[in-house]
Amino acid sequence: MRFLAVLLLILSVSAQAKIKLAITIDDLPNHGELPKGVSRVDVAKKMLAVLKKEKIPEVYGFINAAKVKDEPLNKEVLNLWVKEGYPLANHTYTHMDLNTNNVMDFQKEIKADEEMLIELNGGMNYKFFRYPYLREGAEMKKRNSIRKYLAENKYQIAQVSVDFEDWSWNDPYARCVNKKDQKAIKWLGKTYQNNAVAKLKEAALMSQKLLKRDIPHILLLHIGAFDAEMLSDLIKNYRAQGVEFISLTEASKDQVYIDDPGIAGKWGAEILQQIRKARNLKLEDIGIERYTGYPQKELQKICL
């Protein structure tokens, strides 16, 4: 009986444990298609209003500064971000894919993004780097060359542990709004939230299976019109799952984000997936069922 009481206590404490999570936003100042009548500034203002209302700390916006050169009005998005006290960081100048470009050109992209970061960041730390598409290089030599460059220039890689392909809802949303298809928009909202929660749970479970502990997680979102619409509900749904929101700076101090998994690959991957692949483990090897709920084909077809 005493053993059972102790077991129940452990389970109770475990059930109440918080999932620590940092929110990060990619592709500032713009991402995806817009519904008619909605501007990039509208999207940023809506997203920032939610983040401030919900008291989400230090939400880094990862920028591609070339988008300001292409459209000067986009700079207002970056100005708004910093004005609200949120920092900006490096996502390369043009969102360059390392797998299809050489090391020298990729280094130039990192350097070119810095001018605007230094101009706008007001002394806040911009030395986080997020690989476009999460692709760190398909060959080890290329991968290690960029990692060396980042280390020499005092960057920490802003890894991701929770990614539910949020970006892929933004274009369908714009199409459905323009067609005034409310039924489709409702479906988009339901599937977005379902996928967000499912991938959070998967990451929490994978952390336990691979590392035997809970890590602080880092969520990847994008500055898209539907992301802005969904953000308030997403935060509420995550809090219902036991999430405590923390800063990227705090999350990145965990050893899992400092250690090098030592693996190259054609496709980008979250940090826990990198560790799993580096150990030559399949999902079934660690007792995780492959998630099949992502409606990729449906998103591509809806409201066309």
Predicted confidence (pLDDT) per residue in 121-146, tens digit: 999 999 999 999 999 999 999 999 99
Task: Classify residue 179: in a domain, yes or no.
Answer: yes
What does the block give as tokens for 97?
Answer: 């894919």
Q: With bands split at pLDDT 50, 70 and 90, how would you rate the model's confidence at 213?
A: very high
- Residues facing residue 220 across a β-bridge: 24
- Residues 33, 25: Cα–Cα separation, whole Å: 16
Read off the CATH number of the domain in which 246 is found.
Answer: 3.20.20.370
Nearest to 159 by CA among 206, 218, 114, 232: 218
Within 13 Å of residue 289, how many CA atoms lie on the same side as its CB?
5
* Percent with pLDDT over 90 in the chain: 92
Q: With bands split at pLDDT 50, 70 and 90, how would you rate the model's confidence at 16?
A: very low
Query: Is the Cβ–Cβ distance between 162 and 220 less than 8 Å?
Result: yes
- Asked if pLDDT for residue 171 goes beyond 50, the answer is yes
Task: Classify residue 290: in a domain, yes or no.
Answer: yes
Task: Classify residue 14: in a domain, yes or no.
Answer: no
Q: Find the domain containing 143 and state its range.
A: 19-301
Domain count for the chain, please give it: 1
Task: Classify residue 5: in a domain, yes or no.
Answer: no
Residues contacting 173, CB < 8 A, separation 6+: 35, 185, 188, 224, 225, 226, 229
- Residues 7, 3: Cα–Cα separation, whole Å: 6
- Asked if pLDDT for residue 201 goes beyond 60, the answer is yes
Give the pLDDT confidence of 222-281 residue by residue, as tens digits. Answer: 999 999 999 999 999 999 999 999 999 999 999 999 999 999 999 999 999 999 999 999
Q: With bands split at pLDDT 50, 70 and 90, how would you rate the model's confidence at 70?
A: confident
pLDDT, averaged across the chain: 94
pLDDT of residue 4: 38
* Percent with pLDDT over 70 in the chain: 94
Task: Classify residue 58: in a domain, yes or no.
Answer: yes
pLDDT of residue 2: 41
Q: With bands split at pLDDT 50, 70 and 90, how would you rate the model's confidence at 64?
A: very high
Task: Classify residue 203: in a domain, yes or no.
Answer: yes
Task: Classify residue 82: in a domain, yes or no.
Answer: yes
- Residues 3, 250: Cα–Cα separation, whole Å: 36
Task: Classify residue 8: in a domain, yes or no.
Answer: no
Whether the pTM exceeds 0.85: the reply is yes
Query: Is the Cβ–Cβ distance between 103 and 76 less than 8 Å?
Result: no
What phi and psi, each to the nearest 5 degrees, are found at residue 103? -60, -45
